[in-house]
Amino acid sequence: MTSPAPLAPAYQEYLDQLLAAKVLIATGVQGVYGKGKAFEDVLQGFDRYVTEMGKDQNATELRFPPVITRKNFEASDYLKSFPHLAGTVHSFNGTERDHVHLLSLLESGGDWTTHFHSTDVVLTPAACYPVYPTVTGTLPEGGRLFDVMSYCFRHEPSVDPARMQIFRMHEYVRVGSPDDVRRFRDLWLERGLAMLAAVGLDAHDEVANDPFFGRAGKMLAVNQRDQALKFELVTPICSTESLTAVVSCNYHQDHFGDVFKIRQHDGSVAHTACVGFGLERITLALFKKHGFDFAAWPAQARKILGV
C-alpha cells in the first residue's frame, strides 16, 4: 500500500497527537520511534492475546532476534522482489590506521561507513523468515505450526505513523500440505477479524498484493492478486477512506518449501502460509479509535489487553 500525498496532513496530525501524548517518542528519523508505557502496555496486551488465541492450535513457540543470516536471506529470493525494503548489517574489521581514517571522515563529515563491510546478518524482513530454514527435511504427518514474534525492518521512511521502518510482527506460520495451509489461512482470516472486533476495531478482509520492486514487480503483484495469495485485514487509522492493513495472510505455495528443502510427510514439496499481526499498527488503530484515556476504552478491550 503506498502513502498517497493527500493523506500527509492526516498522518502528520495523528503523529503530532501521539508525540504530544508521549505515546510515541520522536528520534529524528521518520518511522523510528521510542514508545511510552501506554503504547507498550497495549502492544504487549495484544501480543499476549495472539498467543492465547492460538493455544488450541498447539503451535511451537519460537522467538528470533531482529536479524537473520545473510545466507538464508539470499536463498529466500527477497532481493528479487523487495530490494528497496531490505536492510543489510555492516561492520568494521579494519586496522588502527583504518580507524584513524574512519575518525577523520567522521570529523570532516565524510562517509565513514565506507569502512564498514557486510556481515553475515541482515535485518529480519518478516517474522516468519527465520522459521523456514529450521524445518528443512521431512515434516511429520499433518505438518507443523509455529508461533513467532520479532522486530522487522523495512526501509520506507514515511510521515505515516503506521508505516514504521522497524516494527513488531506476531505470526503463525503453517508448513504442510496445500490443504493444511489453506485451512489454516481460512481459520485465521476469520479468527483475526473476530479478534479485532473483540477489541473494538472495525475491519474487513481484502485481497492484496506485496509492494514488489520495479516494472517486473507490477506483474508479480497482478499475479498474486489474481491467485488471491494475499489477504489483508484493513481498518481505519489516520483515514476512514484509505484503510490500513493490520493483519496479513500470505500463502507462499511451495516457494519456501522449495528453497529450504522442506518436504511433506509423503515426500512432496511442502507448502507454507503465514498470518501476521502488525502489533504497532493494531496499537495505533486502538489509540486512534478509543483515544488516549484508557478509562474511556470499551470494557472488553481493556480486559483483553490488560490496560
Query: Interface residues with its own copies (CB under 8 A)?
Result: 25, 27-29, 32-37, 39-40, 60-69, 71-72, 74, 79-80, 83-84, 86-94, 96, 99, 102-103, 106, 111-113, 115-121, 123, 130, 133-134, 151, 153, 155, 157, 164-167, 213-216
Report the residue number, 72 or 248, with the smaller CB distance to its own copies. 72
Residue placing its CB nearer to its own copies in the complex, 116 or 292: 116
CB of 226 to its own copies, least distance (A): 23
* The Cα angle at residue 193 between residues 189 and 195, in degrees rounded to 5: 115
Of 251 and 260, which CB lies nearer to its own copies in the complex structure? 260
Closest CB to its own copies among residues 39, 188: 39
209 phi, psi to nearest 5 deg = -140, 155
Cell numbers 514488489: residue? 212
Q: Kindly tell me which of 111 and 141 has the beta carbon lying closer to its own copies.
A: 111
Q: How far is the CB of 305 from its own copies (least distance, A)?
A: 16
Cross-strand partners of 137: 262
Q: Which residue's CB is nearer to its own copies, number 167 or number 188?
A: 167
Compute the distance between CA of residue 168 and CA of residue 4 in angstroms, rounded to an integer: 24
Q: Smallest gap, in angstroms, from Cβ of residue 237 to its own copies?
A: 19
Provide the minimum distance between the beta carbon of 268 and its own copies in the complex, in angstroms, as a whole number.
26
Q: Which is nearer to its own copies, 11 or 39 (CB)?
A: 39
Taking the complex as a whole, how short is the minimal distance between the CB of residue 72 and its own copies, in angstroms? 7
Nearest to 121 by CA among 64, 79, 66, 70: 70
Q: How far is the CB of 245 from its own copies (least distance, A)?
A: 20
- DSSP structure class, residue 139: P
Whole-angstrom Cα distance, residue 155 to residue 234?
Answer: 22
Backbone angles phi, psi at 104, to 5 degrees: -70, -35
Q: Is the CB of 142 or the CB of 157 nearer to its own copies?
A: 157
- Count CB atoms within 10 A of the CB of residue 246: 27
Query: What cell numbers appear for 129 in the block?
Result: 523468515
Which residue is associated with the grid cell 502496555? Answer: 41
Extract the C-alpha cell encoding 166: 522497524
Asked if 241 contacts 225 with a C-beta cutoff of 8 angstroms, the reply is: no
SS3 83: helix
Nearest distance from C-beta of residue 158 to its own copies, angstroms: 13
Spatial CB neighbours of 192, under 8 Å, sequence gap ≥ 6: 203, 233, 247, 249, 275, 277
Taking the C-alpha atoms of 215, 219, 221 and 226 in order, what is their torsion angle to the nearest 10 degrees?
A: 160
Shortest approach of its own copies to residue 37 CB, angstroms? 4
